Amino acid sequence: MVLSPGIGHLIPLTEFAKRLVINHPKFEVTIFIPNDGSPMKYPKQLLQALPKSISTIFLPPVSFNDLPHDVDIETKIVLSVVRSLPALKHSIKVLLESTRLAALVVDLFGIEPVSDICKELGIIKPYIFFPTNAMMLQLVFHMPKFDQTFSCESFSDLVEPLKLPGCVPLHGRDVPDPLRDKKSMAYEGTVQLCRCYSMAAGIMVNSFVELQQGAFKALMMNQGQIPAVYPVGPLVQTGSSDGGVNESNNCCLKWLNEQPDGSVVYVSFGSGGTLSSQQMNELAMGLEMSGQRFLWVVKSPNDKAKNATFFSVDSVDDDPVHFLPNGFLERTKGVGLVVPSWAPQVEVLSHGSTGGFITHCGWNSTLEAIVHGVPLVAWPLYAEQRMNAVILSDDLKVAWRVKENENGLVGRDEIAKFVKGLIQGEEGKPLRDKMRKLKEAAKMALSPDGSSTKSLAKVAEIWNNQGK
């Protein structure tokens, strides 16, 4: 398995590897990890906890010194794989000397460069592990056609929503970042990447049929024109997500233990998400105005980028708490808990005191909320998060989506209204009820006779035959 940079890619791929070797113990897995220069402390801790049948190979670090400082994250991710190709090819050749290859799996950014290696070495076509959802995969297959059909410079200019088979309508403004604006540096490369998906032998998707029935049905009806699609999710972290920050872990859980059931709103924007100074201030005031209990993972603000910490997941800010409004901590003492930079999210979401989640709608966080039955306030920031917010609010109806005001901010009044409604209000009851049903559906999908377990078994059978 070949990884792309980012903790949001590492976690689902390693969970996929774990599920494969646990359910089908004949397999052994080697994970190749490109080195983009990001801190590796937390990824190494995750990898050290994997079963013995999963090994890892860290590829030599690559340099980005020739790139402009404001280059798109997607460009850096793809280049980290491309610039690791010589080392990757050498490592695969060495492995082939002692191992029967059943399959080569790449994550969503690796299909084009790794396909070239497969041709050169004369080995089987790669599979894709797709760590996000079926609606995004539908967009991937339709994007080359949309690129030719629409002449506008930005999909945000489209009046009519895009129609993807089996999916709710998608407005152009909610198209993922690298595909929304044709003038962006990443656009052409990302559309080309979409074209390459047809080169895959098959695609494993980190979602489940019961969550996205329409999208998966449409994808599977298209078999023959596109690679076979296998829903294998929800693949989320289980057990401790400590990350080595024991003090924060203990602090959060001890505080949650003292709160009433379902009374706390958890606020976190993932490993990469950042807010501006003004937005951070509005969020603080909205939480205070709501009068509800909250656990907020605070990062230092960034006024230029909404994904400023994507490549530095385990760097801890000196003290982001200094950026909070004057007197905020004193006024909310006993009601809220603020923790800098990191919290044990799996443990927080599974805790009985947690009754809601303000989230950036990263797909890992989305699935973790579904698995633990926690209703959402959807606050997308970058990548495909706006699309995920559409799924959560318009299709599944387990989230309220925030709206920016004329100043480009989510205002404190709206934040307070949503937080209060999620925890206390009758208007939050439908969200809570629907999320409970999805929690049960997720559990069933991963059961011995569940849809995702059977889907993984099909993949394993194909690989078992190829490895003979």
CA distance 178 to 268: 23
In sequence order, which residues have a C-beta less than 8 Å from that of residue 405 and are 6 or more positions away?
411
Q: Is 107 a catalytic residue?
A: yes
Residue 256 one-letter amino acid: L
Helix boundaries (H) for 239-276: 246-257
Catalytic one of 9, 351, 360, 372: 9
CA distance 178 to 158: 16
CA distance 76 to 82: 10
Tokens of 99: 């191992």
Angle formed at CA 81 by CA 76 and CA 82, multiple of 5 degrees: 90
In sequence order, which residues have a C-beta less than 8 Å from that of residue 217 and are 6 or more positions away?
166
Tokens of 461: 């059978």
| Dihedral sign computed on CA atoms, order 325, 326, 331, 335 | positive
Q: What is the largest CA-CA distance in the chain?
A: 67
Residue closest to 328 by CA, chosen among 360, 282, 359, 297:
282
CA distance 284 to 411: 10
Catalytic one of 107, 174, 177, 314: 107
CA distance 22 to 379: 35
Residue with tokens 């989510």: 410
Residue closest to 350 by CA, chosen among 431, 236, 211, 212:
236
Residue closest to 115 by CA, chosen among 22, 195, 59:
195
- What DSSP element (H or E) covers 296? strand 293-298
Residues in the chain, total = 468
The answer to whether residues 380 and 363 touch, using CB atoms and an 8 Å cutoff, is no
Whether omega before 234 lies within 30 degrees of 0, making that bond cis, reads yes
**Sheet containing 228-231: which strands, arranged edge to edge?**
105-107, 127-130, 202-205, 228-231
Tokens of 103: 């399959």
Helix boundaries (H) for 233-295: 246-257, 277-290
Tokens of 288: 């205070």
**Cα radius of gyration (the chain):** 22
Residue closest to 322 by CA, chosen among 340, 345, 344, 296:
340
Catalytic residue numbers, as ranges? 9, 107
